Amino acid sequence: MKKLLDIILNSLPILVMIGLIPLVANDYLLSFLFLLIIVISLTIKRTPLDLTALIAGAILMTIAEYFFVSTGVETFTRNSLFGIMPIWLPILWAYGFVAIKRIVYIIGRKG
pLDDT of residue 72: 87
pLDDT of residue 111: 65
| Residue 86: CA count within 13 A, CB half-sphere | 20
pLDDT of residue 106: 94
Contact 95, 61 (CB under 8 A): no
Mean pLDDT, consecutive 10-residue stretches, the chain (111 aa), reads: 94 97 97 98 95 97 92 88 91 97 93 65
* Separation of alpha carbons 17 and 37, rounded Å: 8
DSSP 3-state percent helix, strand, coil across the chain (nearest 5): 70, 0, 30
pLDDT of residue 101: 96
Looking at the 3D structure of the chain, how many domains does it have? Answer: 1
* Domain region containing 88: 2-108
Contact 69, 98 (CB under 8 A): no
Q: pTM of this prediction?
A: 0.89
